[in-house]
Amino acid sequence: MTAAPRIVEVGGGVPYRIAIGPGLLADGAALAGHVRGRHVLLVSDSTVAPLYVATVREALHAARPDLLVGTFVLPAGESSKTLANFGAAIEAMATLGATRDACIFALGGGVVGDLAGFAAACWMRGVDCVQLPTTLLSMVDSSVGGKTAVDIAQGKNLVGAFHPPRAVFADTSTLRTLPARELRAGLAEVIKYGALGDPGLFHWLEAERERLLAGDEAALAQAIASSCEHKAAIVERDPLERGERALLNLGHTFGHAIETEQGYGSPHNANLNHGEAVAVGMVLAARLSAGLGIAEAADADRLASLLGAYGLPTTLPSGLTPAALLARMRLDKKNLAGRLRLVLWRGIGRAEVVPDVDESAVLAVLSG
Ligand code: NAD
Ligand code: GLY
């Protein structure tokens, strides 16, 4: 018999549950329990769909034979998180004949989750979405909190909506097929939670590196639960990012600039993926903080060393120019009144939002 899943509750105005454990995609009764009407659109990508769509379809069908289940599959990779594919997902809802009680199931990583969530936010002004994350990154971060979006050429996640899911099912057995590089990308976001607010988690990550990188399921489940607890606590207090939620963006202003400037990652190019770009971004934010005199250089070195030990990049990839990256950073969603507003770092477990950061200091860090 499989053990009961771990549950993390997300409170606030729109409460929901995150279930974490193996085999959840086959639990048709639990999945179908969130479908109010008859229509389900299963959104996935070209790598995940052949692995897991049949399991979810069969589970739903067994629990609710009356459901009309459509499938919409994106090409795998960040370069699919586009307005055009968002439009195609909306067309798929229309073809299905989905009414306002329909439910979109997002089966995949953060790319699928963000695009499917945005389609759910917009179809008929908003239908239910259930997140079924299959990457570590989406289990620890993107499936929780209701941020949905697509990218445009000018920047990441610039078009989107806040639309909390009805439920999240993180089936940890899907991590068995996840490539090692994608596992490391997810661990970058786990390190982020330690770096921004939890020294105990940071130390645990220093100690448990071998088990986590080896894919030890108990260690990964612990990392997912800790991360979701951190994120849940913040998003239930600040769901729309009016304040402290911005701390979850440690490293992201630099990271998003890198992703946009590289032209977004895909399984077919060597560009950094999101977790890798965030890893570099966290080191740049820490080095900037040290340069501005609010953090110790030794702490920045310790963060870089932990990320490096997890096989993550810690310096800018070649071919990117500092001025171009700074220009990308000017279009970040945290900025106000045309001024750079960044998440900076006072040391392990202590991030803070700093308005009006001096651009010349940023340029100096980008120039190495
Ligand atoms: P992703 O969705 O591109 O998945 C990474 C790769 O892993 C893809 O090629 C995918 O096909 C493959 N894959 C997924 N699950 C698999 C499995 N179980 N087995 C084998 N292969 C599998 O990327 P990601 O890292 O999951 O998510 C990154 C995206 O998430 C970015 O667009 C980022 O902006 C977004 N994000 C959003 C939030 C949020 O709060 N909404 C937070 C963090 C990141
Ligand atoms: N990943 C940042 C946030 O959800 O706010």
pLDDT digits (tens, 9 = 90+) for 268-305: 788 999 999 999 999 999 999 999 999 999 999 999 99
Q: Mind listing the pLDDT tens digit for each residue in 328-341? A: 999 999 999 889 99
* 178 Cβ below 6 A of ligand 1: yes
Atom 42 of ligand 1, residue of closest alpha carbon: 142
* Inside any domain, residue 81: yes
232 and 91 together in one domain: no
If pLDDT is split at 50, 70 and 90, which confidence band does 2 have?
Answer: low
Q: Mind listing the pLDDT tens digit for each residue in 17-49? A: 999 999 999 999 999 999 999 999 999 999 999
48-85: b (≥16 Cβ within 10 Å) or e: bbebbbebbbebbeebbeebebbbbbbebbbbbbbeeb
301 and 255 together in one domain: yes
Which DSSP string corresponds to 175-190? Answer: GGGS-HHHHHHHHHHH
158 and 184 together in one domain: no
pTM as predicted: 0.98
Rounded Cα–Cα distance for residues 226 and 39 (Å): 34
The structure tokens listed for 63 are: 């629990």
* 141 Cβ below 6 A of ligand 2: yes
Mutate to test the pocket of ligand 1, among 53, 115, 131, 138 (most ligand atoms within 8 A of CB): 138
The percent of residues above 70 in pLDDT, for the chain, comes to 99
pLDDT greater than 70 at residue 115:
yes
Rounded Cα–Cα distance for residues 27 and 196 (Å): 35
* Inside any domain, residue 254: yes
Mutate to test the pocket of ligand 1, among 10, 48, 131, 147 (most ligand atoms within 8 A of CB): 48
| Active-site residue, selected from the candidate residues 182, 241, 259, 261 | 241
113 and 209 together in one domain: no
CATH number reported for the structural domain that contains residue 223 in this entry: 1.20.1090.10
Domain hosting 320: range is 180-366
Rounded Cα–Cα distance for residues 167 and 259 (Å): 29
**Is the CA virtual torsion 112, 135, 70, 14 positive or negative?**
negative
220 and 80 together in one domain: no
pLDDT greater than 60 at residue 1:
no
Which of 133, 161, 177 is a domain's end point?
177
142 and 245 together in one domain: no
| pLDDT score recorded for residue 99 | 98
* Residues paired with residue 118 on neighbouring β-strands, in sequence order: none
Q: What angle do CA 87, 138, 244 make, to 5 degrees?
A: 95
* Inside any domain, residue 69: yes
* Inside any domain, residue 277: yes
117 and 232 together in one domain: no
pLDDT greater than 90 at residue 266:
no
* Inside any domain, residue 289: yes
* 157 Cβ below 6 A of ligand 1: yes
46 and 138 together in one domain: yes
The reply, when asked if residue 281 is annotated as ligand binding, is no
| pLDDT score recorded for residue 3 | 79
Q: Mind listing the pLDDT tens digit for each residue in 62-107? A: 999 999 999 999 999 999 999 999 999 999 999 999 999 999 999 9
| pLDDT score recorded for residue 93 | 98
139 and 238 together in one domain: no
* Inside any domain, residue 1: no
| Active-site residue, selected from the candidate residues 249, 261, 328, 341 | 249
Which of 177, 199, 220 is a domain's end point?
177
Q: How far is the CA of 338 from the centre of ligand 1 (A)?
A: 30
CB 289, CB 346: distance < 8 Å: yes
* Inside any domain, residue 230: yes
Which of 177, 209, 235 is a domain's end point?
177
Which ligand has the nearest atom to the CA of 274? Answer: 1
The structure tokens listed for 205 are: 């990550």
* 274 Cβ below 6 A of ligand 1: yes
Rounded Cα–Cα distance for residues 175 and 217 (Å): 9
Atom 3 of ligand 2, residue of closest alpha carbon: 248
Query: How many structural domains does the chain have?
Result: 2
157 and 184 together in one domain: no
255 and 336 together in one domain: yes
CATH number reported for the structural domain that contains residue 43 in this entry: 3.40.50.1970
69 and 184 together in one domain: no
- The pLDDT mean for the chain works out to 97
